[in-house]
Chain A
Amino acid sequence: MLRDITIGQFFPGTSAVHRVDPRVKLTLVVCMIVTLFLAAGPVSYALLALYILSIIKISGIAPKMVVRGLKPVVFIVAFTAVLNLFYTPGNELWSLGFLHVTDAGIKVAVLMVVRILLLIIGTSMLTYTTSPIDLTDGLELLLGPLKKIHVPVHELAMMMSIALRFIPTLIEETEKIISAQKARGADFDSGNLIQRARAMVPILVPLFISAFRRADELAVAMECRLYRGDIGRTRMKQLRLGRVDFGAIAISAAVFGAVIVLGRFGW
């Protein structure tokens, strides 16, 4: 149930993909998203698919886990496919009442599905292979220049780390509370909408209380260690670009460049 959510999960590892600097990974993911939207034809999509599949292969993450992470978006993908299939003008191949399937429609639908899937897999590979702490560190460093115009980058990054850190804790907590209330005969699976909503109260009240308690404890613990924000803070782990990073940049730049050029020709 709750444990099956894999979006945003991190699978520890030591592969080359894991070792790439989080700043580089973040930048490359943004570039990949842009490239995905510039890709025009089957050839460029195939190239990008190959790129992402190789990343999965190199990272050593079980393809089964990647597929499982796609489950929550199946509906959106199917919906997009159906819309594109029926509402793209072109040479009519088949029609039933107001529904028309065109050759262009089939092409657009397939490419759209591929685009969304690549988009989700590509971005999840970022979180699968980067620990939340590395991720927020990278984000903070990348957005560092914004501090000059008084954007609280450090505070935002810290809030993000804390939020990410507590997702699994709160999931575990929720499961525990659900079990405890079930043990007292609570019934979450039957009744109408209002009854089901009411059945959530015994879960939500303890969950909120415990979230506030945890926040309070964390604040105290941080203050005890003299945390006072960004000023004068040094890092134990300094990020430095290495060979893996330049390799990743070179390969990705080549792939993205090729896709964009191919896209200009409509391939």
Chain B
Amino acid sequence: MSYILETRGLTQVYGAGTPFERTALDHVDIQVEKGEILGVIGHTGSGKSTLIQHFNGLLKPTEGEVLLNGRSIWDEKGKCSRKTRFEVGLVFQYPEYQLFEETIAKDIAFGPTNMGLSESEIKTRVAEAMDFVGLDPSMAGQSPFALSGGQKRRVAIAGVIAMRPAVLILDEPTAGLDPAGRDEILAQIRDYHARTGATVLIVSHSMEDIARMADRLLVMNQAHVMLCGTPREVFAHAEEIVAAGLDIPEITKVIRELNRRGIPLDPSIYTVEDAVRAIRAYKEGR
């Protein structure tokens, strides 16, 4: 199995030599499989935001390396090619604050234009990206600043999707959105993954959101990888997750409480559907 993204001994130290010195990542080894949805979880300061900025070369490792398709993204001269940025699309937290153009279409076209694509190609990509995030084509000429917060975020996400990255990374894509907006954005991301087969990384501190859509979960804690595996494997370690100050899905909590009261159910269940099935089976078997 070859990995699309890989880190080996990745270490990042901020403010080395000052009173503010802080290790954000400490010898982190991660493998991302091609075409998967990987959920990255950890709370503030666990190093997850630092980690994703390494994936497209925005940060230079203090130590260790980052491999894209098996090749280091930093060449011998210590430079990172701009192509990496187009291959690995990174959507920052609150991406709506990066909008700057007069019209939605122009803003989305910023990335593709930097790639040096032809005008017709840029047009196709802008239209395609707007479709992915559910923006009506008639909005293309509007100012992005007149939109609502949720709409602005879609424009910003479209701006990265328009580069057609092989790996799409989203940092807290649902932060500050209402439940309806959150579900919609997550559904669109899932849809994008299904239609393009791109590898998707979603960073969040909410287990609830991520557990349902990710193929694998990566739990970061204090600059280290604490757990990595399928949601089932990860939630089997619920105690450690709670001890690290992170939440487990509500339904897992319910199951664990039932366990405590003497009802033997699989403690790694993390979806309501599975829970219903398990409880039914238990009742029938009794």
Residues in A lying within 8 Å of B, measured CB to CB: 3, 11, 62, 64-65, 176-177, 179-187, 201-202, 205-206, 209-210
Contacts and interface: CB of A to CB of B under 8 A. Distances in A.
A202 B100 contact: yes
Contacts of A185: 82, 85-86, 110-111, 114-115, 163
Nearest to B17: A64
Contacts of B114: 184-187
B62 interface: no
B97 interface: yes
A177 B92 CA distance: 9
Interface in B56-87: 56, 58, 82, 85-86
Nearest to A68: B18
B145 interface: yes
The 7 closest A-B pairs by CB, nearest first: A185-B114, A205-B100, A184-B111, A180-B98, A183-B90, A180-B92, A202-B100
Given A11-B19, A62-B19, A185-B115, A179 B86 contact: no
A11 B17 CA distance: 14
A206 B111 contact: no
Contacts of B98: 177, 180-181, 184, 202, 206
Interface residues of B, number: 27
19 contacts: A62-B18, A64-B17, A176-B97, A179-B53, A179-B58, A181-B98, A181-B110, A183-B90, A183-B92, A184-B98, A184-B110, A184-B114, A185-B82, A185-B85, A185-B86, A185-B110, A186-B110, A206-B100, A210-B97
Contacts of A206: 97-100
B285 interface: no
A64 B98 CA distance: 36
Contacts of B115: 185
B218 to A, nearest CB: 20
B105 interface: no
A65 B95 contact: no
B89 interface: yes
B237 to A, nearest CB: 33
A180 B145 contact: no
Contacts of B17: 64
B97 A183 contact: no
Given A182-B58, A184-B159, A177 B97 contact: yes
Given A65-B19, A180-B97, A184-B98, 8 more contacts: A176-B92, A177-B98, A179-B92, A182-B58, A183-B85, A185-B85, A206-B97, A206-B100
A3 B14 CA distance: 10
B54 to A, nearest CB: 12
A222 to B, nearest CB: 23
B231 to A, nearest CB: 28
A65 B100 contact: no
Contacts of A181: 98, 110
B160 interface: yes
B179 interface: no
Contacts of B110: 181, 184-186, 202
A182 B85 contact: yes
Contacts of A187: 82, 114
B262 interface: no
